[in-house]
Chains A and B, each alone.
Chain A
Amino acid sequence: MNTTILIIEDDTGLRTALADNLRNEGFAVLTEQNGQSGLERARAASPDLIVLDLMLPGLDGLSVCRLLRKESNLPIIMISARGMEMDKITGLETGADDYVVKPFGMGELVARVKAALRRRQPEPNAHHITLLRINDLQIDLIGRRVFLDGNELHLTQKEFNLLVELVRNQGVVLSRDLLMTQVWGDDYVGGNHTVDVHIRWLREKIEANPSEPVRITTIRGIGYRFEQ
């Protein structure tokens, strides 16, 4: 029996082109044009893989992905015009197995479809990390608590979010504006000096010597890095 792929895409041109190309590759193809009908078709037809557009009318791609993920671990490849790293992270954290940014070529999509089919059995709970541990620093993501050498630290909400963002990107230099956007949100209106102030407060709590920090280092003119 052929491997069945369900395409959920609202744009007729793209849906047809995708379907034709995947059929040429030897897959059986089902198509749906909105989130709700896609979800129902996925439940009824049990395809081997879903190609899911992120921006769909009504029930959007992220919601479809979240709902399906609760029910099964069938591979989902999300396609989207939104190519920012944040969008990809959101897509992947929602449970998508892969994220392909438009425009893409057929070769790339087919390669990703095949790779996702090979890894059909994802590790259980791979997407649900609840505890981060970096040497003597421990972060409980669910309880939003931080411990240093076993002693609980009292962090404000912003300090906690800032720390988690830095730790999740351990070894990566994050620009001030990026931290601003991630922690204070896209809508924040104002300068990025706020980041410096909160980094200072955070250092006072987690560094042995806040004036000579070893955990959160400053990369002059660019931003901050949580050292590995």
Chain B
Amino acid sequence: MTVLLLWLGLALGWGLCGVLGYWLWHTQKNQQQLSKINQTAQQTIQQVQTARQTAQAQLTALTKTVQEAVLFVNPDLTLHTASEKAQTLFGTFDPSTGAVPVRSYTQSLEIEVFLRDTEQSALQNEVLEQQIQLMGHVYRGRAVRYANGIALSLSDVSELQRLSRMRRDFIANLSHELRTPLTTISLLLDGLNTLQQPLTAEQRHTLGRIRNETRELQQMAQEVLDLAQIESGRALFRLRKTSLSPMLQSQIERLRPLAENREIAIDAHLPENLQVLVDEEQVGRAFGNLLHNAIKFSSQGGKVCISTIQVSEEVRISVQDQGPGISERELTRVFERFYKADRTRSSGGTGLGLAIAKHVIEEGHGGKIWAESSGQANAGSTFHFTLPIA
């Protein structure tokens, strides 16, 4: 019995030792794993901290260097960060003093409303723009919503606005100063036709020349105005369903006296009942510019052909002349502002007509305009442009 108990005790002892040994081994293994996890966590924390520090440093550098006033705002419209320029504008911001509503910091309801609109209605990372009045100046505000806040930049555009207003007024005054005497000349010419004594052939010829030169000046005054619009970077167009042929025909009739003076025939093949989606006044003028050039560069007794062709949802209009032609090198350059091809083609004008036509066709109507010429002397040239069919 005693021996049995001894054996049992021994077995139990060995068993306990085994369990204890296993427990010790297992714990040690766990500890190793834990320390490994701990190590990885430490590394991750350090990486995150470094990244955060870098981001913070970059943000600080950015807020110090950026020219605009920049505000970072929390979704509840309290201020998070203000750039140095912003602090110059709105006063010092100390984040440690607690949450500051952007409204009380900027003293601007406009900014608050703009930020609220951005917070509620903008897509993520979509930039919204608004002009904001602050302390007698006009600012261009740009806001973007990101994951947990809104960024707003403000740049002072008062000076830019003043200059653009000055330019607009200057152009308006200039056009007034030019157009008024031109109208007077036209009216005086009209008055001469109603004189009691009939005019001699020579007098009539001279009057015809004065009238043509007046038209040239009127064309130039119009081109200067059109240029002002292009320079402003704005494309102001109203597109309506318009019959193509009457629009082109009215320009042909307008320029027919000029063509007849130089014994140039205008041969036009226009489609019936084709509707295009255009700003009639501006496309009419663009076409008029092309036709005017074609007549100007044709030699006496020549012919100008106008044709149209329908290509899927567009119509292509072509104006072909028998003038001196354009070299390959100049085919694309003729559409640049103030560019005049070689002197043989130069016969007055502002050099703006084609640039204006390009602006009207491409910016205003999403069409294309281009020139073709074989490049050989007197082979003539063809100008094409496309318009959307209504």
Residues of A within 8 A of B (CB): 11, 13-14, 17-18, 20-21, 24, 55, 81-85, 102-107, 156, 169, 171-178, 180-181, 184, 186-191, 193-194, 197, 201, 219-223
**B184 within 8 Å of A by Cβ?**
yes
Tell me if B128 and A197 are in contact (CB < 8 A).
Answer: yes
Cβ of A24: which chain B residues have Cβ within 8 Å of it? 191, 194
Q: Does B184 contact A17, Cβ atoms closer than 8 Å? A: yes
Report yes or no: A104 in contact with B186, Cβ–Cβ below 8 A. Answer: yes
Contact A197 B126 (CB under 8 A): yes
- Can you report 30 A-B residue pairs in the complex whose CB atoms are below 8 A from each other? A11-B184, A13-B181, A13-B184, A14-B183, A18-B187, A21-B190, A81-B180, A82-B176, A102-B179, A102-B180, A103-B182, A103-B183, A105-B187, A106-B190, A156-B117, A173-B237, A173-B277, A175-B238, A175-B239, A176-B235, A177-B234, A180-B234, A184-B131, A187-B165, A189-B140, A190-B129, A193-B127, A193-B129, A197-B122, A223-B239
- Do A190 and B190 touch (CB < 8 A)? no
Supposing A13-B181, A106-B190 touch, asked if A189 and B238 sit within 8 A by C-beta, the answer is no
By secondary structure, the B interface counts as helix
Which one of B129, B186, B235 lies within 8 Å of A103 (CB-CB)? B186
Please state if B240 and A172 are interface contacts (CB–CB under 8 Å): yes
State the Cβ distance, A176 to closest chain B Cβ, in Å: 8
**Chain A residue with Cβ nearest B175:** A81
For B358-369 the 0/1 string (1 means CB < 8 A from A) is: 000000111000
B236 within 8 A of A: yes
Is B191 touching A21 in the complex (CB atoms < 8 A)? Answer: yes
B157 within 8 A of partner (CB): yes
B122 contacts across to A, CB distance below 8 A: 197
Task: Verify B238–A172 contact, CB threshold 8 A.
Answer: yes
Known pairs A17-B183, A173-B240, A186-B168. 8 more at Cβ < 8 A?
Answer: A55-B176, A85-B238, A102-B180, A172-B239, A175-B364, A189-B138, A190-B129, A222-B239
Does B346 count as interface, using CB distance less than 8 angstroms? no
What are the residues of chain B within 8 A of A13 when measuring CB–CB?
180-181, 184
Instruction: Say yes or no: A221-B180 contact (C-beta < 8 A), given A20-B191, A106-B191.
Output: no
Choose among B188, B214, B237 the residue that contacts A175 (Cβ–Cβ < 8 A): B237
Are the C-beta atoms of B129 and A194 separated by less than 8 Å? yes
Known A20-B191, A24-B194, A189-B131: A14·B184 in contact at CB below 8 Å: yes
Q: Cβ of B172: which chain A residues have Cβ within 8 Å of it? A: 81-82
Residues of A within 8 A of B374 (CB): none
Within 166-211 of B, Cβ neighbours of A (below 8 Å) are at: 168, 172, 175-176, 178-184, 186-188, 190-191, 194
